[in-house]
Every structure is written in C-alpha cells, then in structure tokens.
C-alpha cells in the first residue's frame, strides 16, 4: 500500500491532527439534526462532504470565469480553458501520472471503467477469452465487464476472498491464464474497507502481459495513490468520494494505451476533422471527452485535490487509523453485533450486522440520534452473498470525523435492540 506522507521529508515531529480546525472548513458538518443534535455524518464511502475551498472554487468559476472551453479566442474562454486544463495538471500531479494527457475527465469511476471496457478491452476480446475481477468488486467494476463478455462470448472469472474479506492470491497465477485479456480490481472495497495488494496483482498480471485496471473510488480519500508506483495500466476514480463535486472523476491511462484506443463516444471536441466522407480523431485525452465537459466539476475536483494535498498526510493516516480502531472496538462490544470485513489492511469502513435487527432498521433508528450510516448491499451484492447476508449497516469515516462521533455511533447502535424490543 502506498500511504506515504504528503509532507516534505525531514519535517519536524508533527502535532496531532487538528480535527476541529479541519471540520471548520466543512459547512455541512456544522448543522444540527434530530432534535437539535449535531449531525454525525458517517456515510463517506457513499459520498464525502465538501470543504468551503471547493464550494468557493465552483462558485467563483460560475461567478467570474464561466465560458465554454477550447472553442473561443476571447479572454474569458481562454481563462476557462486554462482552469479546466490546469485541473487536469493538478489531477495528474496528485496521482503522480507522468503526463497530464494521461488524465481523461469522466463523470466518475463508473464511466471510467465503462470507457476502458468498451474502448480498450472489447476490441481485444474473442469468444472463450477471460476477464478477471475480484470477489469484492463494486457493481461498477463487474457489470461493464459482464456486458462486453456477454457480447463477445467471453467469461468473467473471479479472484476469491476469505472470511476476513481479504483476497486469496494463492491461485492468482493459475487464474491469470493464456485467455485472460484484462484484470480489473478494486484498490479498496467499499463494502468491507479492505485495502487490496494491487501493486502485487499488477506485477503478477504484467509478468504474463495482462493489463490491469484499478478501481480507485475508495482509495483516493484514504491512501496516497501513485499510479506509476502501482504500475497499473488504468486507474479510475470519482471526485465526489474525495471531497469534490459529483458528476466528475478521472480515468488515468498510460499514454501508450490511450493513443491506441478508439473513441468511446462521438461528438464535439473529440475530433481532428469531420466530413461526411469520414472523421479523424483528436489525440488523447480530448479523444475521450466528447461534448461540453463538466468544466466547473473539474475545477471543483482540482480544488478538492489541492485541499487534500495540503493536509499533513501522516497525521491524517494516524487519525483515520485511530477512528477505525476505536469504532471496531466500540461496535464489537455491542451485544449481538458482528463486523463484516476484518482484513488486516483496512481503511475506515466498518460494516456490521446486528442479530435480530434488519440493517435498514439499524439505519433508521441511529438516524433518530443524528447518526447517518448507509444500509443495504452497498452495490456489492456478491459480497453480501459470500457472507450469507442480505445487507449490512456501514459506517465509513473521513478525516473530519471525531472520536466523539464514533462514541455517538456506538451508543446509537447499542440502543437499537432496546427500541426494537
């Protein structure tokens, strides 16, 4: 895992993470709900809250800089274009891509995976070929591959996991067979919190010449991601999971792959020239950004990455590990509660079931105490099936969560069986 500090090397010993100072940047977290209790927002794996800096960047863009990009010669257009392309450079730097042309703006992780499935993988797929995913994937990293496998008569195969929710890699070399055309694996599981050893998976797949896409939706807010260190061919992520806006994300792809890929969608801005006799396409990344993109979204996402990059990352990592340890201990002490997903390497996600209570009841009852957790299958139905459960309640933390909020969660959950009688 790549969780190195963002602070400069040789910096003096750090103070504790100042969570209250950071919370002050997030207006939404200041609100009160449920009879005046403070909101305890623990659904960060679904979406994160936005700091003032992101909200202001979007507002400023629309107040001062809004114009369509790439198509005008007037100053405002050039300014908007500079902001959009500057966001690409910021994003490339954040994940240590070697070239900003390796960053394609998309709607989010889902679109990034679909783009790779349709444009990169499908043309290479024939009947009898295989695509390999893992047992803990989000539906967004399953269904796009099923669609192309179904179309081409190819087969989806699955890296298994164990009862702790860790991938079992003993049989990986056998799964990486002569017909494997692609590996697609999540960096961090949204349902379990498991951090997968993606660098090792990439190395083992590459040893056989098989390309790898990493679904980074849940990794970006918790881990320092370095796409070149991971060595992956593609890395997909969503802005809204990393304190940025919805409707924007990015796909990292090596220039070599992107240059060889046909367009994903046709339209404005992705062409070099168009005539009724035929069309030639722009080089990447424009080739994959047909139509007017989410310009303000890109600006907002870049502001979010800027915000995260400025945090003392070592302190963030320590704070989140502390929240996870505290939540695990406090929830495990609730009678009848079972934690689903106990991997040795985890981010701050605690999924659980409570004997005698449906997950939705848990969610509804803790909400009365102002505690927001997600309940359901978390778009990972195969994970639920593996554990033989229909749903879990899931608390997922961000760096702005506090010890006191974990305590509020634990006491709200402890109250559930009382309420249900």
Instruction: Enumerate the active-site residues.
Output: 379
Q: Where are the alpha helices (DSSP H) in 223-294?
A: 227-230, 255-260
Question: Shortest approach of ligand PLP to residue 79 CB, angstroms?
Answer: 28
Q: Does 43 bind ligand PLP (CB under 6 A)?
A: no
Rounded to the nearest 10 degrees, the angle between the axes of helix 403-420 and helix 313-332 is: 20
Between 133 and 148, name the residue whose CB sits nearer to ligand PLP. Answer: 133
Q: Tell me the three state secondary structure of residue 170.
A: coil
Q: Does 396 bind ligand PLP (CB under 6 A)?
A: no
Between 43 and 102, name the residue whose CB sits nearer to ligand PLP. Answer: 43
Binding mask 347-386 for ligand PLP (x = CB under 6 A): ----------------------------------------
Question: Tokens in use for 333?
Answer: 């002490």
Nearest to 299 by CA among 46, 49, 91, 96: 91
Q: Are the beta carbons of 420 and 413 closer than 8 angstroms?
A: no
Question: Tokens in use for 367?
Answer: 């909400």
- For residue 352, give every residue at least 6 positions away whose Cβ sits within 8 Å of its Cβ, in sequence order, or none: 331, 337, 338, 339, 340, 392, 393, 394, 395, 413
Q: Tell me the three state secondary structure of residue 268.
A: coil
Q: Does 134 bind ligand PLP (CB under 6 A)?
A: no
Q: Does 218 bind ligand PLP (CB under 6 A)?
A: yes
Binder of ligand PLP out of 109, 194, 392, 401 (CB under 6 A) = 109
Q: Does 190 bind ligand PLP (CB under 6 A)?
A: yes
Cα(139)–Cα(267) distance, integer angstroms: 28
Between 217 and 331, name the residue whose CB sits nearer to ligand PLP. Answer: 217
Cα(6)–Cα(70) distance, integer angstroms: 33
Binder of ligand PLP out of 3, 141, 180, 194 (CB under 6 A) = 141
Q: Does 186 bind ligand PLP (CB under 6 A)?
A: yes
Between 343 and 357, name the residue whose CB sits nearer to ligand PLP. Answer: 343
Question: Shortest approach of ligand PLP to residue 63 CB, angstroms?
Answer: 27
Count of alpha carbons within 13 angstroms of residue 111, beta-carbon side: 18
* Contacting range for ligand PLP; rule: CB under 6 A; set: 17-25, 121-129, 167-175, 215-223: 215-223
Binding residues for ligand PLP, rule: CB under 6 A, are 108-110, 138, 140-141, 186, 190, 215, 217-218, 238
């Amino acid at each position: 895992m790549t969780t190195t500090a963002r602070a400069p090397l040789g910096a003096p010993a750090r103070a504790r993470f100042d969570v209250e100072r950071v919370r002050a940047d997030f207006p939404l977290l200041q609100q009160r709900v449920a009879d005046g209790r403070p909101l305890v927002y623990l659904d960060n794996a679904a979406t994160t809250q936005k700091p003032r800096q992101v909200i202001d960047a979007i507002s400023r863009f629309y107040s001062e800089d809004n114009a369509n990009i790439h198509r005008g010669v007037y100053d405002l257009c050039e300014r908007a274009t500079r902001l959009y392309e500057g966001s690409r450079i910021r994003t490339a730097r954040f994940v240590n891509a070697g070239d900003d042309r390796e960053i394609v703006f998309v709607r989010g992780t889902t679109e990034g995976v679909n783009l790779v499935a349709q444009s990169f993988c499908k043309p290479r797929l024939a009947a009898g070929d295989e695509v390999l995913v893992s047992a803990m994937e989000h539906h967004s990293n399953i269904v796009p591959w099923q669609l192309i496998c179904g179309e081409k008569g190819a087969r989806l195969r699955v890296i298994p996991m164990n009862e702790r929710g860790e991938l079992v890699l003993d049989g990986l070399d056998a799964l990486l067979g002569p017909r494997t055309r692609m590996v697609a694996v999540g960096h961090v599981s949204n349902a379990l919190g498991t951090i997968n050893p993606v660098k090792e998976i990439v190395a083992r797949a590459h040893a056989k010449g098989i390309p790898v896409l990493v679904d980074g939706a849940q990794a970006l807010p918790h881990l320092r991601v370095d796409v070149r260190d991971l060595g992956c061919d593609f890395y997909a992520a969503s802005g809204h999971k990393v304190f940025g806006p919805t409707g924007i994300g990015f796909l990292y792809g090596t220039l070599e792959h992107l240059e060889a890929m046909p367009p994903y969608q046709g339209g404005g801005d992705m062409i070099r020239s168009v005539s009724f006799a035929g069309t030639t396409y722009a080089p990447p990344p424009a080739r994959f950004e047909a139509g007017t993109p989410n310009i303000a979204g890109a600006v907002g996402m870049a502001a979010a990455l800027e915000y995260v990059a400025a945090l003392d990352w070592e302190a963030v990592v320590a704070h989140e590990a502390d929240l996870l340890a505290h939540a695990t201990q406090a929830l495990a002490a609730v009678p009848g509660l079972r934690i689903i997903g106990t991997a040795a390497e985890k981010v701050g996600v605690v999924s659980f079931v409570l004997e005698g209570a449906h997950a939705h009841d848990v969610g509804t009852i803790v909400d009365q105490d102002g505690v927001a957790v997600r309940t359901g299958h978390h778009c990972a139905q195969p994970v639920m099936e593996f554990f033989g459960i229909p749903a879990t309640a899931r608390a997922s933390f961000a760096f702005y969560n506090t010890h006191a909020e974990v305590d509020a969660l634990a006491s709200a959950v402890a109250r559930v069986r009382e309420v249900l009688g």
